[in-house]
Structure 1
Amino acid sequence: MILFTQLDFIKNNFNKIKLNKKEGKKVFIGRKKELKSLEDLYAESGFSMSVIYGRRRIGKSTLIAKFIQNKNAIFYTATKVGKNRNTELFAKQVISVLEPNLENVTFPEIEDVLDFISNRLGEEKLVLVIDEFPYWAEKDEALLSILQKYIDSKWMGKNLMLILCGSALSFMENEVLSEKSPLFGRRNSQIKLEAFNYKDSALFVPDYSYEEKAICYGVTGGVAKYLSLINPEKSLDENIKKLFFHPDGYLYDETRNLLTQEFSDITLVNNIIEQIAAGVNTVNAITQKVRESGSTVLYSLEKLISVGLVEKKKCITEEKNKKKTQYVLKDNMFKFWYEFIPKACSVIELGHGDIYYEKIVKGQLHSFMGSVFEEMCRYFTLEQGVDGKFDSFITETGTWWGTENFLAENGKRIQQSADIDVVAISDIDKSLLIGECKFKNEKMNKNVYETLVRRGAILSGKYRLKKYLFFSLNGYTDWFEELNDKDVIKFTLEDLYM
């Protein structure tokens, strides 16, 4: 059984649990694959170790809390208080679970605590969780080696499952998982927890329309904590206004809170994110805008990537071409925040955020959702392609951008920049699918079809072009509906949720 300290933890940290009023019980949403992985590992006899990591607010602690329900478990969350204090607090947590009558006992060293645990391992498996592990390990250089020693000499073969969890992605990858780590080769599994996809995000708002579910995913980025704040009994507009456009809204100051936790000086990273959000996405262009050296900007970009806020985007057919690398915001909530909140801070502080949302933001939601919808369509295409729905086994999806030259109807030669929203490649038969996405009120028309076909010809030299995919929020014109082309597949937003 989990003792009282763990029950308190679960009560306070289940940010992916909603109350099912019809059944009167709490329901855990999503993460089936990750839970199964942990349960399978737990079922194995002897010692096992799992590493769980992912950016802040993503739901790591909630996942673990769900997993350790009704299990013999010790859960300790490290803090930025240094080596000795973490050892002291960890010892108290261990005692409270294993020997609550020994509350006045102290341990001078971490080895003493681990010996205490080792001596109490028996037939019932114990789960030992250290959350926010980097906070402790960064201040105690010997901790990783000490854990290695205990795994090799005292825990191997014993009924102990060790879970190390952290939000500092670079530390977890470089110091815990890499070949140079003392723990290398000891883990049985690793889970990099990502944001919920658009389908799982929809489970938080089951009664919303498909359009509302998509926008809900867009403004929260699929981040577990943010989704848990959506009240499904209130309208989407009410939720967005309450979370973003009220001075006390949780997401009104969330970006600043996150950056403050990760960076000592947030001025530069804030400026960089502002530029990326505005569409400035190369190192040289960002450098010119923020007026800092390229090395300084690149260092900040790498840090932003390491904490899961920014990602490198490459042209799918030219991934080795460094000139075709863009830096984009990985977190759609950040994208929404930087697009609408900075220019509205004064209005929001005056208490008029609701008016600002109704007059300015609401009418721009479809425009904001353009890139989010494209990402949703790429996910859907990969999912369907892996299942063989397009007569090809799709191995990757992405975007393409470059330059196109074509002859206009008036006979004039035109050269312009071009992009394709969805490019799905099968490395098995060297074929591809291409697609166009429109999250707009108007119906998709003939012009969209002709543009995609024209741009597809640019890629057809390297791959065999098999299908044209179209994704439309509001359907298609009569011309499109009557189009008789076996290589064209049309989807609506509803199709993406089926």
Structure 2
Amino acid sequence: MNQFVNRIDELDRLQTLYESGAAELAIVYGRRQIGKSELIRQSIADRDDAVYYQAVQGTATTQLRRFVEAAATTYPDITAVKEEWEPLLAYLVDRDAIIVIDEFPYLIESNEGLPSIIQHLWDTAVDESQATLVLTGSAIGMIHTHVLDGGAPLYGRVSQTPNGRLELTQLPFRSIQEFVPTYTPEERVFVYGVFGGTPRYLSPLDPAQSFGENITRLLCDPDGPLHDEPETVLQMELTEVNTYFSLLESMASGNHSRNEIAQGAGIESTNTSYYFDRLETLQIIEKHHPALADPARSKRTRYQIRDPVFRFYFRYLYGRGGQYELYGENAYADLIEPELPDFVSETFESLCHQAVPALYTDYQLTQVPSQWWYKSREIDVVAPTDESTLIAGEAKFTNTPLGYDVLADLEDDVSHIDWTPTGGGEPTYEFALFSRSGFNRSVEEAADERDDLRLFDLSDIVAVLESRVDP
């Protein structure tokens, strides 16, 4: 399948920049395999004024030579220009070209002065031009250092209207339909829970195969196209990979606090700050604070692996090759399938967070729905409103109907939340239960009798997310 799925807004923004009638600078960034190159190629597919250069690691001389070769396919006379970045780029700017430098950080590695050269060009030579310069990068830290952060040579030069800063993230859940159109809503949740929203990981899915067959072929098979993907990506970005792998394996096993993760990895927690910061910068992990907490002040922090494929790899595959050889063709059924509901439950909870605004349209939420925890207490879904109401819910992705005990525990836990409504006074509560497998009769009867309790099954959540149009 074509990897270009559901990037309509980003494509429209780029094409608006190309046609703005003024000089524009755009930066397209995001972690590896997220679809940056495909987006750019689609945006210039039918144009005869575009130069596309895919940078690679190499010497400054090699980079210049390859850039001229790429540009000459559209502008043959550029071969007569002196092979230095400023005159080459100035030549193209004078011709109102669209100039794409894919993986710009590779050029910076061989020429640290290049961002300053572009800055000088942009400040002195583009007033009468309609050129567009598009820079892309997977090395997110370098993109911030040289383009986005205050003090960076190109800071303030990225176009503002329309916004030339495009950060590509994972595709939303609704995109899964386009990769596996014959799968049921529940199967699509499983797909998103394992493969996430990275186009390169979704494209090899075969809708004619079962979910288990796809996992076996793509992930479990040692020759599968995604089997070693997380390890390969990390080795391209990191040194001391064994330390990072140990931390990620600990995280994937269910540890979330920094101390728990370090202990699980056999590392002193005082020695982990650098590693956590690096993994965050690369968007491999993310940290969370409890709902209602001030992130700048809260000391309660949890970490989790952002990409489900990475989480799957470090939970089920990393260091377990011999085990899979022993089980052979039964490895998926015996080692993975029984645990999958628990593994996917993290994604299901996230989907419930995303669905809350559409399910509670009578309320104006003041924070993005998220998880709340304190000591041994935990609530899966908490969303404050601009009135006196706090929405609180539990999300269960189990094989059995959700029982009344879950509701009772939720009501008890809510009483321990410290929250004062915006207008003061005592809070009121709306309770929500989200379930993969329905509800016990006692829960359904309670919902019939109460105005403050609503029940949502998996089909409700999928329906609102697949019909949702993001702003």
Structure 2 length normalisation: TM-score? 0.90
One of 442, 457, 460 as aligned partner of 1:495: 460
> Contact 1:16/1:59 (CA < 8 Å) preserved in 2?
no
The CA distance in 2 between the partners of 1:81 and 1:295, in whole Å, is: 37
Residues 246, 449 of structure 1: CA spacing in aligned structure 2 closer, same or farther, 3 A cutoff?
A: same
Counting only pairs closer than 5 Å after superposition, residues 339-378 of structure 1 correspond to structure 2 as: 339-342=315-318, 344-348=320-324, 353-378=328-353
> Contact 2:388/2:428 (CA < 8 Å) preserved in 1?
no
* Matched residue, 1:218: 193
Q: Does 1:177 align with 2:177?
A: no
* Matched residue, 1:75: 52
* Matched residue, 2:107: 136
The CA distance in 2 between the partners of 1:320 and 1:234, in whole Å, is: 47
The CA distance in 2 between the partners of 1:354 and 1:161, in whole Å, is: 52
One of 378, 384, 402 as aligned partner of 1:444: 402
* Matched residue, 2:158: 187
Residues 58, 430 of structure 1: CA spacing in aligned structure 2 closer, same or farther, 3 A cutoff?
A: farther
* Matched residue, 1:481: 444
> Contact 2:72/2:79 (CA < 8 Å) preserved in 1?
no
* Matched residue, 1:457: 415
Q: Unpaired segments of 5 or more residues in structure 1?
A: 1-14, 18-27, 404-416
The CA distance in 1 between the partners of 2:227 and 2:189, in whole Å, is: 21
- Tell me by how many angstroms 1:103 deviates: 8.9
* Matched residue, 2:93: 118
Residues 296, 80 of structure 1: CA spacing in aligned structure 2 closer, same or farther, 3 A cutoff?
A: farther
The higher relative CO (CA closer than 8 Å, separation ≥ 6) is in 2
Residues 283, 476 of structure 1: CA spacing in aligned structure 2 closer, same or farther, 3 A cutoff?
A: closer
Letter in 2 for 1:360: L
Q: Deviations over 1:304-328 (max 9, x none)?
A: 1111111111112223444301121
- Tell me by how many angstroms 1:231 deviates: 1.4
The CA distance in 2 between the partners of 1:198 and 1:29, in whole Å, is: 12
* Matched residue, 1:20: none
The CA distance in 2 between the partners of 1:290 and 1:29, in whole Å, is: 37
SS of the aligned residue for 1:434 comes to strand
Q: Does 1:269 align with 2:250?
A: no
Letter in 1 for 2:254: G
Q: Deviations over 1:22-53 (max 9, x none)?
A: xxxxxx42112222222332331111111111
* Matched residue, 1:419: 378
The CA distance in 2 between the partners of 1:271 and 1:110, in whole Å, is: 43
Q: Does 1:395 align with 2:367?
A: yes
- Tell me by how many angstroms 1:131 deviates: 1.0
The CA distance in 1 between the partners of 2:267 and 2:80, in whole Å, is: 54
> Contact 1:471/1:493 (CA < 8 Å) preserved in 2?
yes
- Tell me by how many angstroms 1:264 deviates: 2.3
Q: Unpaired segments of 5 or more residues in structure 2?
A: 422-426, 464-471
* Number of equivalenced pairs: 450
The CA distance in 2 between the partners of 1:296 and 1:79, in whole Å, is: 34
> Contact 1:198/1:217 (CA < 8 Å) preserved in 2?
yes
SS of the aligned residue for 1:183 comes to coil
Residues 56, 16 of structure 1: CA spacing in aligned structure 2 closer, same or farther, 3 A cutoff?
A: farther
Residues 459, 66 of structure 1: CA spacing in aligned structure 2 closer, same or farther, 3 A cutoff?
A: same
The CA distance in 1 between the partners of 2:183 and 2:266, in whole Å, is: 45
The CA distance in 2 between the partners of 1:353 and 1:467, in whole Å, is: 49
Letter in 1 for 2:455: K
Residues 151, 349 of structure 1: CA spacing in aligned structure 2 closer, same or farther, 3 A cutoff?
A: farther
Mean Cα deviation higher: 274-283 or 455-464: 455-464
- Tell me by how many angstroms 1:365 deviates: 1.0
The CA distance in 2 between the partners of 1:186 and 1:335, in whole Å, is: 37
Residues 295, 165 of structure 1: CA spacing in aligned structure 2 closer, same or farther, 3 A cutoff?
A: farther
Letter in 2 for 1:194: T
Q: Deviations over 1:395-416 (max 9, x none)?
A: 312111113xxxxxxxxxxxxx
SS of the aligned residue for 1:340 comes to helix
- Tell me by how many angstroms 1:296 deviates: 3.7
The CA distance in 2 between the partners of 1:44 and 1:118, in whole Å, is: 15
Residues 265, 349 of structure 1: CA spacing in aligned structure 2 closer, same or farther, 3 A cutoff?
A: farther
- Tell me by how many angstroms 1:166 deviates: 0.5
Residues 85, 296 of structure 1: CA spacing in aligned structure 2 closer, same or farther, 3 A cutoff?
A: farther
* Matched residue, 1:249: 224
The CA distance in 2 between the partners of 1:297 and 1:82, in whole Å, is: 34
The CA distance in 2 between the partners of 1:128 and 1:429, in whole Å, is: 50
Mean Cα deviation higher: 453-462 or 255-264: 453-462
* Matched residue, 1:208: 183
**Runs of 4+ residues deviating >6 angstroms:** none
The CA distance in 2 between the partners of 1:117 and 1:295, in whole Å, is: 51
Q: Does 1:315 align with 2:278?
A: no
Residues 154, 81 of structure 1: CA spacing in aligned structure 2 closer, same or farther, 3 A cutoff?
A: same
* Matched residue, 2:137: 166
Q: Deviations over 1:198-249 (max 9, x none)?
A: 2223331121011110111111121111011111222211111101111110
- Tell me by how many angstroms 1:172 deviates: 1.2
- Tell me by how many angstroms 1:63 deviates: 1.3
State percent identity of aligned pairs. Answer: 29
Residues 465, 329 of structure 1: CA spacing in aligned structure 2 closer, same or farther, 3 A cutoff?
A: farther
> Contact 1:441/1:474 (CA < 8 Å) preserved in 2?
yes
The CA distance in 2 between the partners of 1:206 and 1:171, in whole Å, is: 38
- Tell me by how many angstroms 1:273 deviates: 0.6
Residues 46, 423 of structure 1: CA spacing in aligned structure 2 closer, same or farther, 3 A cutoff?
A: same
The CA distance in 1 between the partners of 2:128 and 2:94, in whole Å, is: 14
SS of the aligned residue for 2:429 comes to strand
Structure 1 length normalisation: TM-score? 0.85
Residues 158, 430 of structure 1: CA spacing in aligned structure 2 closer, same or farther, 3 A cutoff?
A: farther
SS of the aligned residue for 2:110 comes to coil
Letter in 2 for 1:142: G
- Tell me by how many angstroms 1:67 deviates: 1.4
The CA distance in 1 between the partners of 2:399 and 2:452, in whole Å, is: 25
SS of the aligned residue for 1:474 comes to coil
> Contact 1:247/1:349 (CA < 8 Å) preserved in 2?
no
- Tell me by how many angstroms 1:105 deviates: 5.3
- The structure with the greater share of residues assigned to strand is 1
- Tell me by how many angstroms 1:168 deviates: 1.1
The CA distance in 2 between the partners of 1:187 and 1:248, in whole Å, is: 42
- Tell me by how many angstroms 1:120 deviates: 3.0
